[in-house]
Structure 1
Amino acid sequence: MAQPNRAPVDEPYDYEALPPNFSVLQNMMAGAFAGIAEHTVMYPIDAIKTRMQILSPTSSAVYNGMMQAGLRMGTGEGLMSLWRGISSVAIGAGPAHAVHFVTYEFVKNRMGGNNSGFQPLAAAASGACAAITSDALMNPFDVVKQRMQMHNSRRMYNTMFDCARYIYRTEGVRAFYLSYPTTLMTTIPFNTLQFLFYETQCTWLHPQRGYAPWTHCICGAIAGGAAAVLTTPTDVVKTMLQTRGTATDPQLRGVSGFAEGAKLLLQREGYAGFFKGVRPRVITSMPSTAICWSAYEASKAYFIRRNETLA
């Protein structure tokens, strides 16, 4: 009987290849771990960003900067207000990121992104496809998270399930996906730019394309920060659409899409309004993206080495 082909002991494992070195299930596990790690570590800064982006808040909830916002939330509502809504992210991020990275690896592999040298088209396309699929799962959880991060949200609901039921009862299923097109307008450019910057820097800093922890961490941070700055305008409008259901302003409650939201934002706050919360968004994105890529690449390397050992 023919013996299965095995790589020599001293031959480095094929890190970039997917099958048979990295199964779909293992890919999903690595992606889920990366997603949960990314979102939970930097969650308080994300909560501050949401508060700063909300259009026309009441005078009791105006936030002029990150430190002031964090101090105001911590002293006025308790430190746990900075973590309010994290359960929604923890539950949604695992499945969403599992799909995210499976799609990323699949498209990248099919388009030749694992071939030697830099493959910009494969990197950009895999990032865009990953955003479309993962956001379809994550958008409802993100809406619940944003609602729970708002000022005085405790008066309306105590848990993510209370919040989800309230949204469904008062606004219907549509409320969970009203912001999805705008979310894609944020995440497709974000992921395309992030993956493009990440793959570019990894190729430049570590052309061997093997597992290099510090390279993945540094490249992830830079890629996440740059992509965050460039996509903040659509992120502000997305926040408006996801939180409009709690507004008392009839004009704000009537906003039904990106164009209307962008027009209203421009009328009330000018072009500067499109960059509200850019600082906390960058401060969130840089370490969280670094954590995400580091966790994913570490998990990927672990599974590939494990598979090679068992082969």
Structure 2
Amino acid sequence: MGLDQVHHEKLDTENVTIHLISGAIAGYAEYIIMYPIDTVKTRMQSISFKGTRNIFGVLLKMIAEEGILSPIRGLTVVVAASGPAHALYYGSYEFVKINLQHVVKNHNSFCHGVAGCFATFFHDAVVNPSEVIKQRMQMEKSTCHSVIQCTKEIYRIEGFQAFYRSFATTLLMNIPFQSIHFIVYELCQDYLNKERDYDPKSHIISGGLAGGVGAAITNPLDVCRTLINTQESKEAVGLVKAVKIVYKKTGFRGFLSGVTARTLHLMPSTAICWSTYEFCKYLLKEQKHKDSDRNK
């Protein structure tokens, strides 16, 4: 992408409302569609998990024993947080990427990686409490039966810090994940969609590859985050202790727990998220251009 094109895009996106709205809609689409697989992933990452390693076997067993709504337990809190979180995620990514490319020439991957770091921080700051609540509700034999009850119980027993106990670990996982994710997505777009037009097929392929690569690489940290969030072991108060507990209970194999489920969750998730985001951005920009032409 040349400097003139970057400058043109900067002028075209000075109103970040398009990115915020598109990002929020993309977040809703991603979480709602793929949430049952996320529940399976959480259970398979549990240090006490003894069941089958077949993703759909776990899902069917859950439905048979706990009811048809059990795979979406905790979805409401995620929906409440995902809209604003993804709005900040894409809005900050686009803003930092475009402005950084305007200053740092011919280093697009660096710009994408840095922008991904900023996007990750703002996203995770909003979504971390909801992750704690939803993972408590996703666990087998969970005593949390509603979002409000779960939130009150966590706060009463563990205090406000419980909602951000895993924040440092989340950032340590998501900063490399999101940096890899954005770099892979943009590199795929450079190859599949050089003109950066709206192209659904390229957005789906690029998003899926980006999510899959990032998910596989960062799974060990996600296992530790799940342990910290669910507090299966009360000693898991930080990343170092979580690593020791996972290794002690399950060995090196434990750090790969749920890697298939996580990859199968994030590949379609990121494909859905990026394709929805690019589609909404395209529609909103087209409407903006029509309104501009009408007002001339």
TM range (shorter): over 0.9
Percent identity over paired residues: 37
1:272 to 243, 253, 277: 253
Q: Of residues 169, 179, 202 in structure 1, which corresponds to 2:166?
A: 179
* Structure with larger Rg: 1
What letter matches 2:25 in structure 1?
F
Query: Where in structure 2 are there 5+ consecutive unaligned residues?
Result: none
Which position in structure 2 is the counterpart of 1:103?
92
- Partner Cα separation in structure 2 for residue 294 and residue 113 of structure 1: 25
Q: Does 1:191 align with 2:183?
A: no
**Relative to structure 1, is the Cα distance of residues 113 and 47 closer, same or farther in structure 2, using a 3 angstrom cutoff?**
farther
The 1-side partners of 2:98 and 2:256 are apart by 36
The equivalent of 2:118 in structure 1 is 129
Question: 2: distance between equivalents of 1:268 and 1:68?
Answer: 24
Residue in structure 1 matched with residue 196 of structure 2 by the alignment: 209
**Corresponding residue number in structure 2 for 1:296:** 277
In structure 1, the residue corresponding to 2:194 is in which secondary structure?
A: coil
Residues 127 and 14 of structure 1, relative CA distance in 2, 3 Å threshold: closer
Per-residue CA shift, 1:29-68, capped at 9, x if unaligned?
11000011011101111000000001124x6xx3433132
Q: CA RMSD in A?
A: 2.0
Q: Match of 1:17, SS?
A: helix
Normalised by the length of structure 2, the TM-score is 0.92
For residue 240 of structure 1, the aligned residue among 227, 230, 233 is 227
CA gap 1:54/1:233 in 2 versus in 1, 3 angstroms: same
Distance in 1 between residues matched to 2:255 and 2:95, nearest whole Å: 34
Aligned to 2:81: 92
* Counterpart Cα distance in 2 of 1:292 and 1:176: 25
Q: For 2:53, what is the secondary structure of its paired residue?
A: coil
1:26 and 2:13 aligned = no
Structure 1 portions without partners, runs of 5+: 1-12
84-93 vs 15-24, greater mean Cα deviation: 15-24
Asked if the contact 1:14/1:21 (under 8 Å) is kept, the reply is no
Tell me which moved more, 63-72 or 48-57.
63-72
Q: Select the residue among 34, 44, 52 that pairs with 1:42.
A: 34
TM-score (normalised: structure 1):
0.88
The offset of 1:157, in angstroms, is: 3.1
Cα offset for 1:26? Answer: 2.2
Q: Give deviations 1:143-180, integer Å, cap 9, x for gaps.
A: 11101101122xx3321111111100111001000000
More helix by share: 2
Cα distance in 2 for partners of 1:101, 1:53 equals 28
Of 194, 203, 208, the residue aligned with 1:221 is 208
Tell which deviates more after alignment, 71-80 or 192-201. 71-80
- 3-state SS, counterpart of residue 187 of structure 1: helix
Q: Does 1:162 align with 2:187?
A: no
1:149 paired with 2:173, answer: no
Supply the distance in 1 between the matched residues of 2:23 and 2:105 (Cα, whole angstroms): 24
Query: CA separation in 2, counterparts of 1:170 and 1:257?
Result: 18
